[in-house]
Amino acid sequence: MRDYYEILGVERGCDDSALKSAFRKQAMQHHPDRNAGCEEAAGRFKEINEAYSVLSDPQKRAAYDRFGHAGVNGQGGFGGNGQFHDVGDIFNEVFGDVFGDMFGGRGQRQRGGPARGNDLRYDLEISLEQAYAGAEVEITVPVTMTCEPCEGSGAKPGTSPTQCSTCHGAGRVRASQGFFSIERACPRCGGSGRMVLDPCVECRGAGQIRKTRTLAVRIPSGVDDGARIRLAGEGDAGMRGGPRGDLYIFISVTPHELFERDGLDLLCTVPVPMCVAALGGEIEAPCLMGGADCDGACKIEVTVPEGAQTGKTVRVKGRGMPSLRGPQRGDLVVELFVETPTRLTARQKELMRELADLCSEQQHPKAAGFTGKAKKFWDNVTGQA
Ligand SMILES: [Zn+2]
Ligand SMILES: [Zn+2]
């Protein structure tokens, strides 16, 4: 499978508008209507659509950037079977009026009938603590609402809209667009087929008003970076009695100072003094589980085994992230970092020297193994010269 960025001819880090215009250009060029019967063009067209449908979706794009095709295959509707259901939607979004009708543009462009309101996106950043425990967060969202005094008609209460004289109520007019002759929304009435002669004062004839709404969003415990929460019916108001759109909350979790999340596990690197690492002992590690489990202090004792090295991990069961799907929990994975003491006093240095004299090679198996390999390497080098 070819690289999606290569298919569209864009740079990896390109922004949405560059992506969109590249897609527009490519799709125009390889559109089946312009290349009747050409299988290569049809294949290219399919490829272009697939690439764009992934890269234009921030979540899928992030997955693709990290894992390549494996990251986006087999996710709802994007199977490896080359099916994609979003072609119509993508075309409506990118080409709007020009192509919308060709793909049977749903709902939004029906003549004068009810139309569903827009879906909205809200980006919400939360802390790892909030993701761990779950939270209720208040957000304010600008949203269009149906105007109450005129009940969405746009006409002054007591009056009603009249038929549009340009399209005679049809909501469409025929027009030529380059190589296409297509029907498009009537520019005078905006496709509604109706005109308001005496507009409602509240909404100035629009039938809708913009409002800022405050909503309480419940963040479920265990939510991960990149998750999406759908609030049905909290998007923009529909037109002419159509249903409201949905609101999608895109969650991003702020990187934490101490923890890194890996699936359900939480990773934390803890420095261990050299002597504790050598002798073994207890160290304190942070954990996110507060409450009765650790006297609300969010810390936990971790046993360092005798002779622990940097990079050694100690797993504390059940102290990781909770799962969204059930009662299971990840682990806290403590990675040890052995720290050599600095600024030693004369007495400490003396003890250290004494210790060094008493240490044997067998007590540093890594160093011994390394010395062996290095010696072989040097022998080889001098042998060849
Ligand atoms: Zn009209
Ligand atoms: Zn109104």
CB atoms within 10 A of CB 53: 21
CA of 145 to the centre of ligand 1 (A): 24
Q: Domain segments of the chain: what residues?
A: 1-106, 110-161+196-254, 162-195, 259-376
| Same fold: 110-161+196-254 with 259-376 | yes
CA of 135 to the centre of ligand 2 (A): 37
pLDDT greater than 70 at residue 89: no
d(CA 373, CA 271): 30
The pLDDT of residue 26? 83
CA of 193 to the centre of ligand 2 (A): 18
Q: What is the mean pLDDT of the chain?
A: 83
CA of 120 to the centre of ligand 1 (A): 28
Q: Which CATH architecture has domain 110-161+196-254?
A: Sandwich (2.60)
The pLDDT of residue 385? 57
What class, spelled out in words, does domain 259-376 have in CATH?
Answer: mainly beta
| Third-level CATH fold of 1-106 | Helix Hairpins (1.10.287)
Cβ–Cβ < 8 Å for 169, 194: yes
CA of 298 to the centre of ligand 1 (A): 65
pLDDT greater than 60 at residue 106: no
Cβ–Cβ < 8 Å for 225, 245: no
Instruction: Provide the b/e sequence for 78-105 (b: ≥16 CB within 10 Å).
Output: beeeeebebeeebbbebbebbbbbbeeb
> What is the 3-class SS of 190-205, one letter each residue?
CCCCEECCCECCCCCC
pLDDT greater than 50 at residue 105: no
Q: What digits encode the pLDDT tens for the residues 238-297?
A: 987 889 999 999 999 999 999 999 999 999 999 999 999 999 999 999 998 865 555 556
Q: What share of the chain has pLDDT > 70, as a percent?
A: 85
The pLDDT of residue 107? 38
Cβ–Cβ < 8 Å for 123, 252: yes
The pLDDT of residue 273? 97
d(CA 365, CA 20): 58
d(CA 385, CA 14): 52
Q: Strands 299-304, 281-286: parallel, antiparallel or unpaired by DSSP?
A: antiparallel
CA of 166 to the centre of ligand 2 (A): 23
